[in-house]
Amino acid sequence: MSEINYKRRQLLVAGGFALGACLLPGVAFSSPFKGSNPRKISLCNIHTNEDLETLYFDGQDYIKQELKRINHICRDFRRNEVANMDRRLIDAIAQIQAGLGHKGQVRIISGYRSPETNKALQSKSRKVAKKSYHMKGQAIDFNLEGVSLKRVRDAALELRLGGVGYYPKDGFVHIDTGPVRRW
């Protein structure tokens, strides 16, 4: 095969990959956001009474120090254990807020849970999953100040990010980055 044909084939293959990435943006890009605007979020952990207002994405990159602060406020407060939270969760919450025109705080009910905490909670309630995504930093239970849970749930479902659980009696919506499902 000639050198020109080989280079042409490489170019066509690269073009095919680029086209595929454009046609399947969910595979190519893990964030639910379109575009690269800076992202801010205001969080409150209802158990520790800690508040955090942060610019965690500057329009091009996630800000590592701010992600660490988010991980800390989302920690397992019962054991004071911190884990890396999936950025897609934070992006999803920020997108839900933007879509609902909400400017207030995100009230965190549960972020990361250690396996020990999850097991203890599971022994008290059938609602706690044995293999909870909370133990991987891939789930968060929250509500938005002044916004009905039904509206929050509906906005979360529209994202089709992963799991969405609706707990109106307990006062929160659950989202995770597992398979798309609802309950």
pLDDT tens per residue across span 51-84: 999 999 999 999 999 999 999 999 999 999 999 9
Residues 2 and 40 in one domain: no
Domain of residue 14 covers: 1-30
Predicted structure pTM score? 0.80
pLDDT tens per residue across span 103-155: 999 999 999 999 999 999 988 888 888 899 999 999 999 999 999 999 999 99
Number of domains in the chain: 2
Residues 133 and 112 in one domain: yes
Residues 83 and 107 in one domain: yes
Helix, strand, coil percentages, rounded to 5, for the chain:
40, 20, 35
**What's the pLDDT at 29?**
34
Q: What percent of the chain has pLDDT over 70?
A: 81
Residues 4 and 63 in one domain: no
Residues 98 and 173 in one domain: yes
Q: How far is CA 59 from each of CA 35, 39, 46, 56, rounded to the nearest angstrom?
A: 8, 7, 29, 9
Give the start-end residues of each E strand in the chain: 39-45, 50-57, 106-110, 139-144, 163-167, 172-176, 181-182
How many whole angstroms separate alpha carbon 29 and alpha carbon 15? 17
Residues 69 and 6 in one domain: no
Residues 44 and 14 in one domain: no
pLDDT tens per residue across span 83-117: 999 999 999 999 999 999 999 999 999 999 999 99
**What's the pLDDT at 123?**
86
Q: What is the domain-level CATH number for residue 96?
A: 3.30.1380.10
Residues 19 and 41 in one domain: no
Angular region, 71: left φ>0, alpha ψ -120 to 50, beta rest: alpha
Residues 2 and 24 in one domain: yes
Residues 26 and 48 in one domain: no
